[in-house]
Amino acid sequence: MKKLCVLVIALLLPLSLASADKKKDDEQQSDVKFQVLKADTGKPVRNAAVILHPVGGDGHQSRKGSELKTDSEGNTEIAVPYGKVRVQVIAPGFQTYGEDIEFSEPQKTVVIKLNRPGDQYSIYK
């Protein structure tokens, strides 16, 4: 009886893993390359945080997400499920960037240009 249980488990385990892999394959993904540049010079911004959150049909972002860092050339890559994703880019010395982007193709390159902070205005000048 014990051998029969072990045999059944040994046969069913690969089948369950195969069905889990099939579910992952059914979900289409886009290989996305982000390039973060300075808007004024076009030079890369290294070590910028690129934060991604899936966005539901109601426009609210989910709690799960990913944070990436750009390399010395301002590049980073990730595989993203098809659909709308909220993208934020944060880097010291630059304005925070944010936009919802729809991913529906196998490969996509997103170029993000960060601006320097604007001048502050005061009535006391």
In a domain, 18, yes or no: no
DSSP 49: E
Of 4-18, 20-34, 50-64, 98-112, highest mean pLDDT: 98-112
Q: Given pLDDT bands bounded at 50, 70 and 90, which one contains residue 20?
A: very low
- Is residue 19's pLDDT more than 70? no
In a domain, 21, yes or no: no
Please give the share of the chain, as a percent, with pLDDT higher than 70: 78
- Residues present in the chain in total: 125
In a domain, 74, yes or no: yes
The total number of structural domains that make up the chain = 1
Enter the pTM of the model: 0.72
Question: Mean pLDDT, the chain, as a whole number?
Answer: 83
In a domain, 45, yes or no: yes
The more confident residue out of 79 and 6 is 79
In a domain, 120, yes or no: no
In a domain, 76, yes or no: yes
In a domain, 37, yes or no: yes
What residue numbers bound the domain in which 97 lies? 29-114
Q: Rounded CA gap, 79 and 106, in Å? A: 9
Pick from 91, 116, 95, 92: which is nearest to 34 by CA? 91
Residue 95: how many other CB atoms lie within 10 Å: 14
Tokens of 100: 């919802």
CATH number at residue 47: 2.60.40.10
* Residues 100/87, Cβ–Cβ less than 8 Å: yes
- Is residue 48's pLDDT more than 90? yes
Q: Rounded CA gap, 83 and 70, in Å? A: 23
In a domain, 122, yes or no: no
Q: Rounded CA gap, 79 and 29, in Å? A: 6
- Is residue 72's pLDDT more than 50? yes
Q: Given pLDDT bands bounded at 50, 70 and 90, which one contains residue 1?
A: low
